[in-house]
Amino acid sequence: MRTVSAEPRLFVFYLIPDFTMLAFSSAVEALRMANANLGYEAYAWRVATADGGKVRASCGLTLEANNSVAVERQHLATLQRPSMALVCGGKHVHRHADRAAEAWLRECRHRGLAVGSLCTGAYILAKAGLLNERKCAIHWENIPGFVEQYRGANVNTGIYEVDGNIFTCAGGAASFDMMLHIIQRDVGDDVISSICELALVDRVRGPGDRQRLPFAQRVGVQDRTVMMLVEKMEQTLTEPMQIDELTASIGLSRRQIERIFRTELRCSPARYYLKLRLERAQQLLVQTPIPIVEVAIACGFVSASHFSKCYRETYGCSPHETRNRSTLSTRATARLRECASAA
């Protein structure tokens, strides 16, 4: 446990353009409230960006950086080295890869520092080769694309994960929970209870707490048969099962299953299965650079042409158009920001 005379434990937050403000501020606020409760500066933090310049969050707010990645790398050999480096990601994180940042993160690990990520920052850790054979967490919306790109990582669906000296979380309010876990290991349960009271939080969530509401709560379904079948569907999106095979263990006829689905979800089991696969495909198209033919395979389609036909019938545009719109939107946003900065 840390003492009053000890130097503050220093965290460096590496912010990626379009980072999620909620994930970042939740983490910093946990540290700030720990200091306030303890009555001394047990924790300190600073912000780094790729070039040391300002960085804009996905909400539009801009933050000043304390250092560039190059300066942070120099600090690793000095008394200004941090105890942990945390990557905070957000939208389109895979488009902001930076080799210098990856090298810095690898050197952090080589020198025995803890590293971690908030929200989609796990992409950067994985690209740096730090999540191979490691348990990790990332926001549920990004899990499909992440799993396709980084098969060596062991992705869990909880709100955060700790594997050795690597800390990853799903972002949002989960950043607060992960930081409380770190603080609790440093200063004990009493401080955590006080922080929760200050933050109006009724409990500290553990790493195994689920990110999303249960399926029944999300869509208002109560029928256990539907819940069981949808769970099987979600587990087999890459290699879809035949409906008869899917329902074999339920003990009901195909006609009964069809009737239950139409009552609860207003569509057939096959249609709902297809809907899940296409939703996953849309996530992969927007969030990753994976070739469209590989997106089709990852979502259980036997050919790119069949995938494109189903996709267009559902969304009114082709997979190529979805990806192009996403890319153009990102570029347009970047140009607007450049113009605003110049003005």
Mean pLDDT of all residues in 202-211: 88
Spatial neighbors of 17 by CB under 8 A, at least 6 apart, are 55, 56, 90, 96
pLDDT at 341: 47
pLDDT at 343: 45
pLDDT at 95: 81
Spatial neighbors of 281 by CB under 8 A, at least 6 apart, are 295, 296, 298, 299, 307, 311, 319
User: Cα–Cα distance between 223 and 131 in angstroms, integer?
Assistant: 39
**Lowest-confidence pick of 115-129, 201-215, 235-249:** 201-215
User: Cα–Cα distance between 88 and 289 in angstroms, integer?
Assistant: 20
pLDDT at 213: 61
State the average pLDDT for the chain.
89
**Lowest-confidence pick of 73-82, 140-149, 217-226, 279-288:** 217-226
**Lowest-confidence pick of 74-78, 303-307, 323-327:** 323-327
- For residue 206, is pLDDT > 50? yes
pLDDT at 180: 97
Q: Render pLDDT for 166-181 as a digit per residue (tens, 0 to 9).
A: 999 999 999 999 999 9
- For residue 276, is pLDDT > 70? yes
- For residue 333, is pLDDT > 50? no
Domains with residue ranges and CATH for the chain: 9-198 (3.40.50.880), 215-327 (1.10.10.60)
Dihedral pair phi/psi, residue 63, rounded to 5°: -115, 150
**Lowest-confidence pick of 13-27, 70-84, 280-294:** 280-294
- For residue 131, is pLDDT > 70? yes
Q: Are 173 and 226 in contact (CB under 8 A)?
A: no
**Lowest-confidence pick of 75-79, 186-190, 231-235:** 231-235
Tokens found for residue 158: 């909880």
Number of Cβ atoms within 10 Å of the Cβ of 328: 10
Q: Strand pairing of 55-56 and 62-63?
A: antiparallel
Spatial neighbors of 124 by CB under 8 A, at least 6 apart, are 14, 16, 87, 89, 93, 97, 101, 102, 105, 117
What are the start-end ranges of the E strands in 210-342? none
The Cα diameter of the chain in Å comes to: 72
User: With bands split at pLDDT 50, 70 and 90, how would you rate the model's confidence at 340?
Assistant: very low
pLDDT at 202: 87
Q: Are 83 and 167 in contact (CB under 8 A)?
A: no
Mean pLDDT of all residues in 305-331: 86
Tokens found for residue 103: 């090298």
pLDDT at 216: 53
Tokens found for residue 112: 């025995």
- For residue 336, is pLDDT > 50? no
Tokens found for residue 294: 């590989």
Q: Render pLDDT for 83-130 as a digit per residue (tens, 0 to 9).
A: 999 999 998 887 888 999 999 999 999 999 999 999 999 999 999 999
Give residue 97's identity as a one-letter amino acid code: A
* Coil, strand or helix at 294: helix
**Lowest-confidence pick of 25-29, 217-221, 318-322:** 217-221
